[in-house]
Chain A
Amino acid sequence: MNRFSYLRASSVSEAVEAVAGDPAARFIAGGTNLVDLMKYDVERPGRLVDITRLPLNGIEKTPGGGVKIGALVPNSDLAYDDRIRRDYPLLSSAILAGASAQLRNAATTGGNLLQRTRCYYFYDVGTPCNKREPGSGCSAIGGETRIHAILGASDSCIATHPSDMCVALSALEAVVHVQGPRGDRTIPFADFHRLPGDQPEKDNTLEHGEMVTAVELPAPRFGRHHTYLKLRDRLSYAFALVSVAAAIELDGDNIGKARVALGGVAHKPWRDADAEASLKGVLPSSSAFADFADRLLSGARGQGENDFKIELARRAIVRALGQAASGTPQVQSVKQVN
Chain B
Amino acid sequence: MSNVHPYVGRAQPRVDGPLKVSGLARYSAEFAADDLVYAAAVPSTIAKGRIVRIDASAAQSAPGVVEILTHENRPNMPAEDEPYKADMVAVPGGPFRPLRDDRIWFSGQPAALVIADTHENARHAATLVKVEYEALTPEVDVSNARDRAYDPPEKRNGIPPPPPPRGDAEATFKGSVIRLEEEYRVSAEHHNPMELQATTVEWDDGRLVIHNKTQGVNNPKNYVCSVFGLDPEAVQVSTPFVGGAFGMALRPHYDLTLAVMAALKLKRSVRLVLTRGQMYTMGWRPDTLQTVALSAGEDGRLTSVRHEVIQATSQFEDYQEPTVNWSGLVYDCPNVTLGHKLAKVDTSTPSDMRAPGATLGMFALETAMDELSYKLKLDPLELRLKNYAEADQNDGKPFSSKELKAAYETGAERFRWSKRSPEPRSMKEGRELVGYGMATGCWEAMMQPHGASAALTADGRLEVACGTADIGTGTYTILTQIGADAFSMPIEEVTALVGDTRLPMAPVEGGSWAAASAGNAVRLACAALKEELVKRARGLDDSPLANASVDHVVFRDGRIALASDENVAVSYAKLLGAAEGGRIEAMAKFAPDKEFAEKFSSYTHSAVFAEVRVDEELGVVRVERIVSAIAAGKILNLATARSQILGGVVMGIGMALHEETKWDKRLGRIVNANLGEYHVPAHADVKNIDVIFVDEEDDANPLGVKGLGEIGIVGAAAAIGNAVFHATGRRVRHLPITIDKLL
Contacts and interface: CB of A to CB of B under 8 A. Distances in A.
A143 B118 CA distance: 37
Given A235-B622, A311-B743, A121 B671 contact: yes
A235 B684 contact: yes
Contact of A124 (B120, B663, B669, B740): B669
B681 interface: yes
B120 to A, nearest CB: 7
Nearest to B276: A39
Interface string A1-12: 111000000000
B74 interface: no
Interface string B663-680: 110110101101011010
Nearest to B62: A3
A238 B620 CA distance: 14
B684 A143 contact: no
B664 A143 contact: yes
Interface in B622-680: 622, 657-658, 662-664, 666-667, 669, 671-672, 674, 676-677, 679
Interface string A105-142: 00000000000001011011111000000000001001
Given A120-B677, A126-B43, A3 B664 contact: no
B669 A3 contact: no
Interface of A is mostly: loop
A236 B683 contact: yes
B662 A144 contact: yes
Contacts, number: 100
Interface string A274-288: 000000000000000
A319 B676 CA distance: 27
Contacts of B663: 144
A25 to B, nearest CB: 19
A52 to B, nearest CB: 22
B683 A336 contact: no
Given A126-B669, A235-B685, A337 B620 contact: yes
Contacts of B682: 234-238
A3 B743 contact: no
A142 B664 CA distance: 9
Given A1-B120, A311-B743, A238 B679 contact: yes
B658 A233 contact: yes
B402 interface: no
Interface string B114-129: 0000001001100100
Interface string A295-320: 00000000000001001100110010
A143 B662 CA distance: 11
B133 to A, nearest CB: 10
Contacts of B403: none
Contact of A336 (B615, B664, B677): B615
A125 B430 CA distance: 47
Contact of B615 (A123, A144, A236, A337): A337
Contact of A41 (B107, B127, B615, B617): B127
Contacts of A120: 662, 664, 671-672, 677
Contact of A126 (B45, B63, B124, B430): B45
Nearest to B654: A234
B432 interface: yes
Contacts of B619: 231, 312
Interface in A1-59: 1-3, 41
B373 interface: no
A123 B276 CA distance: 13
Contact of A127 (B45, B681, B743): B45
B739 A139 contact: no
Given A316-B618, A337-B620, A338-B431, A233 B739 contact: yes
Nearest to A235: B684
B743 A336 contact: no
A236 B680 CA distance: 11
Contacts of A231: 618-620, 739
Given A126-B43, A319-B617, A1 B124 contact: yes
Interface of A: 1-3, 41, 118, 120-121, 123-127, 139, 142-144, 146-147, 231, 233-239, 241, 308, 311-312, 315-316, 319, 335-338
Closest 4 CB pairs of A and B: A126-B45, A236-B684, A120-B671, A235-B684
